[in-house]
Amino acid sequence: MARFDLRSLLAAAEEAPPVDAVEVLAAELLREVGAHDVRLLLTNLSCTALVRLSHVEPGLEWVAGHNERTESIPLAGSVYERAMFTQHIEVTAAGEGRWRVLVPVTERGDTLGLLELLLPARPDAETTEFLGGAAHAFAYCLVAARRHSDMFERAQRDVVFSVPAEIQRRLLPPAYSVEGGPFSLAGWLEPAHDVGGDTFDYSVDREHLHVTITDAIGHSTTAALLATLTVASLRNSRRSLAGPAAQADAANVELLNHVDSEQFVTGLIVRIGLGDGRAELVNAGHPAPYLVRQGLPEQLHLDTGLPLGVAEVPYQVQTFQLEPGDRLVLVTDGYLERNAANVDMRATLSATAARHPRQIVQELADLVVHATGGKLRDDAAVVCIDWHGPGNLRHATSGASLDRTTPV
């Protein structure tokens, strides 16, 4: 019988108030493994750093609503970045006979951050396995706690959001990446300085993976409200079991009925059969997706329909077959506009064929920011889907159990 018990961690988290659940879980874990210190490090919203939260006790620096300290740890080139990208537990000597252990906190492929522990001795295999399970418990605890508090979201924000940016963030899925058995998916949105109306969304049911990527014309609040109407319509139709063409038709009617004639939205609406890899797609005036097969990327040659909100026309579904090992990449025109011309999509997709989708979308975002000097004229959204096939299930790195020791 294992000497560690995850049940005590979960029971403590369940009994604690949402804002205290993570700290209570950390205290239980500290006692369980005899650690000197246990901290949860959250990724910031730009995925360039980790944020360490610490509570400020009343009577010290207490200011209503500001009772959390945040410390930012840059990821670039660090052991923290390596643990995040590889999803391996990293064990490093921390001096004075102590060992620093970094454990990925991941829920179904969505990388939320790391657990950082200082241990009095190098962890053995049993301790390492327990820490991987504990980090998984932290992930689910964090997902649950965030439903009831702004505290974690506030800590992750790098800059003050405008109202359009707040609207845009609410239109995105709660998790930007997911492992779904036959597929792995990751999305990313790099907003322009004057927020545009780009969004992406996905949902999984028993039979299909549903994915959309949309681009509302304009900027600021106007584009955000246009995107809101579009995404709400697409989600409503999808939740009523409508296929891609019916989703597009319904969104088109909503826009025609409720927005000005010069406003429109482009988009791709995709549905992939989980049992056979058959992909159905509606292209409403949007850039065609890229298909990477055997490391060779090409834009799919598909018919392009009218953008949503232009005319009352029926939308047509086009189909293509995904094969195990394929990668499908959907982008908005922020990757194609003049200032982003230095981002060679084909070369980048070819060079990164072996990397996980969550690394690809982040790298593409970094490239477009660099190419535009950080002055994006338009949002740049991307969704990357790896198709493993129903007989080639690749399970999520939803926690880590591999131990990598790095001397310091």
Domain ranges within the chain, ordered by starting residue: 6-155+397-406, 182-387
Under a CB-based contact definition with an 8 Å cutoff, are residues 307 and 265 in contact?
A: yes
Predicted pLDDT of residue 395? 44
CATH class in words for 6-155+397-406 = alpha beta
- Average pLDDT taken over every residue of the chain: 86
Angle formed by the axes of helices 244-258 and 220-239, nearest 10°: 140
Q: Beta strand pairing status for 37-43 and 296-299?
A: unpaired
Nearest C-alpha neighbor of 132 from the set 393, 395, 397, 408: 397
Q: What is the pLDDT of residues 327-386, one digit of tens each?
A: 999 999 888 765 556 678 888 899 988 899 998 998 898 888 888 777 777 888 999 999
Residue with tokens 């079991």: 241
**Tokens (6 digits) for 23:** 């700290």
C-alpha distance from residue 51 to each of 44, 47, 92, 155 (Å): 6, 10, 20, 7
Fold: same for 6-155+397-406 and 182-387: no
Q: Among 75-79, 153-157, 175-179, 251-255, name the one with the lowest average pLDDT.
A: 153-157
Q: What is the pLDDT of residues 190-200, one digit of tens each?
A: 887 777 789 99
10-19 CB burial, b ≥16 within 10 A, e <16:
bebbeebebb
Dist. CA 138–CA 106, nearest whole Å = 9
Helix, strand, coil shares of the chain as percentages rounded to 5? 30, 30, 40
Question: Once rounded to an integer, what is the mean pLDDT over residues 398-407?
Answer: 43
Q: 58-67: long-range contacts at Cβ-Cβ below 8 A with a sequence spacing of 24 or more?
A: none
Superfamily holding 182-387? PPM-type phosphatase domain (3.60.40.10)
Q: Is the pTM of this model over 0.75?
A: yes
Question: Once rounded to an integer, what is the mean pLDDT over residues 77-94?
Answer: 92
Q: What is the pLDDT of residues 244-302, one digit of tens each?
A: 999 999 999 999 999 988 899 999 999 999 999 999 999 999 999 999 999 999 999 99
Dist. CA 179–CA 395, nearest whole Å = 7
Dist. CA 170–CA 164, nearest whole Å = 10
